[in-house]
Amino acid sequence: MMISNERILLCKPHLGGEERRFIDEAFADSWVTPLGPHVDGFEEDLKKFLSASDPTLRSIEVAAVSAGTAAIHLALIMLGVGKGDEVICQDMTFAASANPVVYLGATPVFVDSEPSTWNMSPSLLERAIADRIAVTGRKPKAIVMVHLYGMPSDIDAILGVAARYDIPVVEDAAEALGSQYKGRECSTFGRFGVLSFNGNKIITTSGGGAVVCRDAADKKRVLFLATQAREPKPYYHHLEIGYNYRLSNISAAIGRGQMLVLEAHIAHHRMLADIYRRAFAECKWVEFHDNPAADYNANFWLSTILIDPANPGRATPLSLLSAMGALNVETRLLWKPMHMQPVYADAPAYTDGTSESLFSRGLCLPSGPWVTPAQARAIAGEIVRLCSAQTES
Ligand SMILES: Cc1ncc(COP(=O)(O)O)c(C=O)c1O
């Protein structure tokens, strides 16, 4: 029997209703360009949201761009990453965290996860930096730290290692808008922060992203690079290579509407996580990926679980993916670690088996605003049943 007649997706875009009003305004004023009042307004809304928790963050600035991937690319350019450099990157992530390193002719060096957060292991990071210095004679140019599925990294420890070696950190918070670490918003810890507003994220602009900058000077330079590096002359004059990465005013109009429902979306993701947490607490074969300590407050962009391979139902992430698919429920395996990706086979990697083990046991569950509490309970119940049922040998 289906859990729902309509397919239950991991995180289907959810519009609050006000988006259309902002879009209509943009049409009425012919602001259908990659700049305009909604771009400015969206940046201001984001800045307010990110800095609300901490008065020391009042000077941050947000640059809205066409994608999270573009934001990572721009952040790395801002840090001077170029040909022949190495950039340390979390091993377990979506490829977009690492690909911009390659766009710049640099090499990603992958560092495995720690079991508690599933994010970059601070001790392996330290080992990797020391080893890269020994092997190449140069320290890595930057570190890309990711908050996977909205779970904050061990930020203090990572920033501590980075500071010891004086290496800047790009904080890939594409999945972590609304997550907090020690009460402060993720994306505000790194030298640059990155957000994504892709269709399946906590809020969407259909496609879009942002660079979170420390000050207005950084934002000015990011926007210069994002708008073709056009010098301030009465004619088109270029001293540097630029990019066409600015967010459109129409996308920003959607973003402004989405900012009105951001808090409700985050609350919904956390409410579903709580349902999954409780439902799996009684089942020893399924482990809910939870905040590891009080310092962490994940947005639970996606609720995720680990399946014990010894479960009597002989369920695996792949068998569950298929069984849940037959019930009209989308689930997804965890991100396949970068060191296992053929395209990155030659990249240096510092691994200890954690990300491979997580990948072999993990599953992402429907987590967005369209998923009802009853559906989440039914999904969890079915997974528990499939893992607990004795199978014929
Ligand atoms: C961890 C991570 N980094 C970067 C990105 C790239 O964002 P975008 O799709 O907006 O380019 C995504 C999502 O798509 C992501 O999940």
Which of 120, 196, 205, 211 to mutate to test ligand 1, by most ligand atoms within 8 A of the CB atom? Answer: 196
Which of 261, 279, 304 marks a domain boundary?
A: 261
**Is residue 187 a part of any domain in this protein?**
yes
Q: In 3-state terms, what secondary structure has residue 19?
A: helix
Distance 172 CA to ligand 1 centre (A): 8
Q: 257 and 201, same structural domain?
A: yes
Whole-Å CA distances, 304 to 95, 296, 297, 376, 382: 19, 16, 15, 12, 15
Q: 110 and 252, same structural domain?
A: yes
Contact 139, 167 (CB under 8 A): yes
For residue 67 and ligand 1, the question of a CB distance below 6 A is answered with: yes
pLDDT at 392: 57
| Best CA proximity match to 206, nearest among 254, 275, 257, 151 | 254
CA-closest residue to ligand 1 atom 8: 68
- What is the tally of structural domains in the chain? 2
pLDDT at 3: 79
Average pLDDT score over residue span 184-188: 97
Q: 183 and 49, same structural domain?
A: yes
**Is residue 237 a part of any domain in this protein?**
yes
pLDDT above 60 (res 357): yes
Give residue 285's domain range. Answer: 263-388
Which of 10, 11, 65, 69 to mutate to test ligand 1, by most ligand atoms within 8 A of the CB atom? Answer: 69
**Is residue 229 a part of any domain in this protein?**
yes
For residue 196 and ligand 1, the question of a CB distance below 6 A is answered with: yes
Distance 51 CA to ligand 1 centre (A): 22
Q: How many helices (H) and strands (E) does the chain have?
A: 12, 15
pLDDT above 70 (res 179): yes
For residue 146 and ligand 1, the question of a CB distance below 6 A is answered with: yes
For residue 387 and ligand 1, the question of a CB distance below 6 A is answered with: no
For residue 69 and ligand 1, the question of a CB distance below 6 A is answered with: yes
Query: Please, which residues have CB within 8 angstroms of residue 111's CB and are 6 or more apart in sequence?
Result: 88, 89, 90, 91, 120, 121, 124, 125, 128, 349, 350
Q: In 3-state terms, what secondary structure has residue 195?
A: strand
Average pLDDT score over residue span 249-270: 97
Q: 339 and 323, same structural domain?
A: yes
For residue 174 and ligand 1, the question of a CB distance below 6 A is answered with: yes
pLDDT at 260: 97
Which of 261, 277, 294 marks a domain boundary?
A: 261
Distance 2 CA to ligand 1 centre (A): 31
Distance 159 CA to ligand 1 centre (A): 22
φ and ψ of 13, to 5 deg: -55, 140
Distance 381 CA to ligand 1 centre (A): 31
φ and ψ of 87, to 5 deg: -130, 125
Q: 284 and 255, same structural domain?
A: no
Q: 278 and 175, same structural domain?
A: no
Distance CA 115, CA 305 (A): 13
pLDDT at 391: 64
Distance 152 CA to ligand 1 centre (A): 15
Q: Tens digit of pLDDT for each residue in 101-116?
A: 999 999 999 999 999 9
Q: H or E element: which one contains 271?
A: helix 262-281
Q: Tens digit of pLDDT for each residue in 36-83?
A: 899 999 999 999 999 998 889 999 999 999 999 999 999 999 999 999
Whole-Å CA distances, 106 to 76, 181, 230, 244, 251: 10, 30, 25, 21, 31
Distance 23 CA to ligand 1 centre (A): 24
| Best CA proximity match to 383, nearest among 357, 364, 360, 355 | 364
Q: Tens digit of pLDDT for each residue in 265-289?
A: 999 999 999 999 999 999 999 999 9
For residue 172 and ligand 1, the question of a CB distance below 6 A is answered with: yes
With bands split at pLDDT 50, 70 and 90, how would you rate the model's confidence at 16? confident
Q: 306 and 199, same structural domain?
A: no
Distance CA 155, CA 87 (A): 18
For the domain that residue 127 is a member of, what is the CATH number? 3.40.640.10
Q: 139 and 166, same structural domain?
A: yes
CA-closest residue to ligand 1 atom 12: 174
Question: 165: phi > 0 → left, psi -120 to 50 → alpha, else beta; which?
Answer: alpha
Distance 174 CA to ligand 1 centre (A): 5
Distance 236 CA to ligand 1 centre (A): 32
Q: Looking at ligand 1, which atom is closest to the CA of residue 208? A: 10
Edge to edge, what strands does the sheet with 169-172 contain? 61-65, 209-213, 192-196, 169-172, 142-146, 86-90, 107-111, 349-350
